[in-house]
Amino acid sequence: MKAARFSSFGDPDVLGLVELPDPHPGPGEVRIAVRAAGVNASDWKKRRGLMDQELPQTLGYEAAGVVDEVGEGVTDAAVGDRVFGFCPDGAAQAELAVLAVRAPIPPSLGFAAAAALPSSIETAMRALDQLGVARGSTVLVNGASGSVGSAAVQFAVARGARVIGTAGPANHAFLRTLGAEPVAYGDGLVGRVRELAPDGVDLALDVAGSGVLPDLVGLAGGAGHVLTVADVAGAREYGVRFSRGDDGRAVHALAEIGPLIEAGRFAPPVVSTFPLAEIAEAHRAGESGRVRGKLVLLVG
């Protein structure tokens, strides 16, 4: 099969497609003919040598496609099913990928929209689970308009929470459609949030990593009511929990998203697509910040 790979660290030109042996599913796993695979910021961090040091490296840990082989003991999927999920090998940007955790693609979603979901919805759900967001909570989401943030807003609203979200002015109308009350980020954030919630908020989630943890701690009444998925240094400095998923992943998000989407209670993500063969261009676009929505590579 063809798969994306790099053999040295560097700029996007180190990326290319190579021929690799076809993978096969182990017990409980399925193999898919990949139709679309998500691209994340960690992809260019890996390519630059800022994460794993071994070479060569494949890329991609989320994908959507059609099951073409099932491993021993699999009862929730059959050959021909449209599924999306996580590729534990980190080699989903390829013609074939093995998925360990997966769920049926919601009927109204195409492959590209489905491939954009696993990482962002798992991260958002995990953060809300760890914070304990429930009916009646007032939650502040910093960075509410991006892939993870907009998922967190929608899951929190679905749980019956009141959500205040920070975003750039161009995304305030979008946040309202998701059920959040928008505020601008930047200087004066605390005052703007207190205009909406004079007593502060119950819980705060930092998705943007924009250096506002002290503000969030103040608004939420203590570091124990705040969680970040994007600010490792700030978390250490201010005693805030940093969640990276090594303490358990909220994979139940994959099964729960289908009914929400089909009920019109979760807006599928906006995606920007590139053919797999143009992976270097996809990285350039992603690193420059000139893409709208989530980057997805199309396969086949």
Decide: is 188 part of the binding site for ligand NAP (CB under 6 A).
Answer: no
When CB distances to ligand NAP are compared, the closest residue is: 146
The owner of tokens 């209670």 is 265
Decide: is 234 part of the binding site for ligand NAP (CB under 6 A).
Answer: no
Of the ranges 47-55, 84-92, 153-161, 167-175, which one interacts with ligand NAP (CB under 6 A)?
167-175
Query: Residue 5: which residues within 8 A CB-CB, separation 6 or more?
Result: 15, 16, 17, 18, 20, 56, 57, 58, 59
Distance separating alpha carbons of residues 191 and 221, to the nearest angstrom: 15
Cβ(206)–Cβ(191) below 8 Å: no
Distance separating alpha carbons of residues 79 and 33, to the nearest angstrom: 10
Decide: is 272 part of the binding site for ligand NAP (CB under 6 A).
Answer: no
The shares of helix, strand and coil residues in the chain, as percent rounded to the nearest 5, are 35, 25, 40
Query: Per-residue x/- marks for ligand NAP, 30-69, CB under 6 A?
Result: -----------x----------------------------
- Closer to ligand NAP by CB, 77 or 124: give it: 124
Distance separating alpha carbons of residues 253 and 130, to the nearest angstrom: 14
CB of 287 to ligand NAP, least distance (A): 11
Strand runs labelled E in 48-94: 57-58, 62-70, 82-86
Among 14, 133, 167, 217, binds ligand NAP (CB under 6 A): 167
CB of 49 to ligand NAP, least distance (A): 17
CB of 236 to ligand NAP, least distance (A): 14
Distance separating alpha carbons of residues 127 and 250, to the nearest angstrom: 9
Q: How, if at all, do strands 203-206 and 181-184 pair?
A: unpaired
Decide: is 209 part of the binding site for ligand NAP (CB under 6 A).
Answer: yes
With CB under 6 A as the rule, give the number of residues binding ligand NAP: 25
Distance separating alpha carbons of residues 8 and 213, to the nearest angstrom: 36
Query: Residue 59: which residues within 8 A CB-CB, separation 6 or more?
Result: 4, 5, 6, 39, 43, 46, 47, 90, 91, 92, 93, 279
Among 44, 111, 185, 266, binds ligand NAP (CB under 6 A): 185
Decide: is 147 part of the binding site for ligand NAP (CB under 6 A).
Answer: yes
CB of 14 to ligand NAP, least distance (A): 21
Decide: is 207 part of the binding site for ligand NAP (CB under 6 A).
Answer: yes
Distance separating alpha carbons of residues 67 and 223, to the nearest angstrom: 44
Decide: is 244 part of the binding site for ligand NAP (CB under 6 A).
Answer: yes
Among 3, 133, 163, 229, binds ligand NAP (CB under 6 A): 229
Among 34, 148, 216, 297, binds ligand NAP (CB under 6 A): 148
Decide: is 232 part of the binding site for ligand NAP (CB under 6 A).
Answer: no
CB of 71 to ligand NAP, least distance (A): 26
Q: Where does this chain bind ligand NAP (CB under 6 A)?
A: 41, 119-120, 123, 142-143, 145-149, 166-168, 171, 185, 207-210, 229-230, 243-245
